[in-house]
Chains A and B, each alone.
Chain A
Amino acid sequence: DAGITQSPRHKVTETGTPVTLRCHQTENHRYMYWYRQDPGHGLRLIHYSYGVKDTDKGEVSDGYSVSRSKTEDFLLTLESATSSQTSVYFCAISEGDSNEQFFGPGTRLTVL
């Protein structure tokens, strides 16, 4: 998984609670991404980062926030989790202008 770890790998939480997912990379790649994968929808971009403290919204950013205080870490926060945010979340990284994105192992989140 190209030097990418995600934590936790599995999480069950209740509606209304805050949740933070962490992506950590050892590749020193500049760009990092958060995707969610759902049956019938495929992979969809939530947020991405093009450098420390530089982030932008993707296709499905409502209800999510991100932070990147170090090159190697990209955090995804669900401020108040809802059942519609039950999904598998993937972090990805890419280097420079490379179009090749490399994915982490995923976090399976269930919101009850």
Chain B
Amino acid sequence: QKEVEQDPGPLSVPEGAIVSLNCTYSNSAFQYFMWYRQYSRKGPELLMYTYSSGNKEDGRFTAQVDKSSKYISLFIRDSQPSDSATYLCAMKLPGAGSYQLTFGKGTKLSVIP
């Protein structure tokens, strides 16, 4: 079993739709959870960062972490064509000296005008 599982898609939605992107993980020790957005032929861009369980909202984006289920989600409200990209989840263990991020493989999203 991979440490982090993410459905690669592709996911295609109409403009204005609510998008739900998800990752599951196997290592219960992960404490830090991130979502990156990656446009084609570009580097990943940090979108959201959460610690432990709970929700975090930033504009049209909401990140949720459910540690009991080992499941994280990213919701995009009122999706726009500019949201078309690959979305990567990433996770990290706690503690000083722990630098490695473990990434999901990414979900490719297309928002159709």
* A-contact bits for B77-99, CB 8 A (1 contact / 0 none): 00000000000101010001001
Contact sample, A vs B, 15 pairs, CB 8 Å cutoff? A1-B43, A40-B105, A42-B105, A42-B106, A43-B88, A45-B100, A97-B96, A99-B34, A101-B46, A103-B43, A103-B44, A103-B45, A105-B43, A106-B42, A106-B43
Kindly state whether residue B71 has any CB partner on chain A within 8 Å.
Answer: no
Per the bound structure, the CA–CA distance linking A69 and B35 in Å amounts to 32
A90-B44, A104-B43, A106-B42 known; 17 new pairs, CB 8 Å cut-off, are: A1-B43, A40-B105, A42-B6, A42-B88, A42-B104, A43-B101, A48-B100, A50-B99, A94-B99, A99-B32, A100-B46, A100-B49, A101-B101, A103-B36, A103-B44, A105-B43, A106-B41
Chain B binding site: helix, strand, loop or mixed by DSSP?
Answer: strand
B-side residues, CB < 8 A to A, are: 6, 32, 34, 36, 41-46, 49, 88, 90, 92, 96, 99-101, 103-106
* Distance between B94 CB and nearest chain A CB, rounded to angstroms: 9
* Distance between A23 CB and nearest chain B CB, rounded to angstroms: 11
Per the bound structure, the CA–CA distance linking A91 and B105 in Å amounts to 18
- The size of the chain A interface, using a CB distance under 8 A, is 25
Contact A43 B34 (CB under 8 A): no
From 88 to 111 in chain A, residues with beta carbon under 8 angstroms from any chain B beta carbon are: 90, 94, 97, 99-106
Contact B45 A45 (CB under 8 A): no
Per the bound structure, the CA–CA distance linking A103 and B41 in Å amounts to 13
* Distance between B67 CB and nearest chain A CB, rounded to angstroms: 16
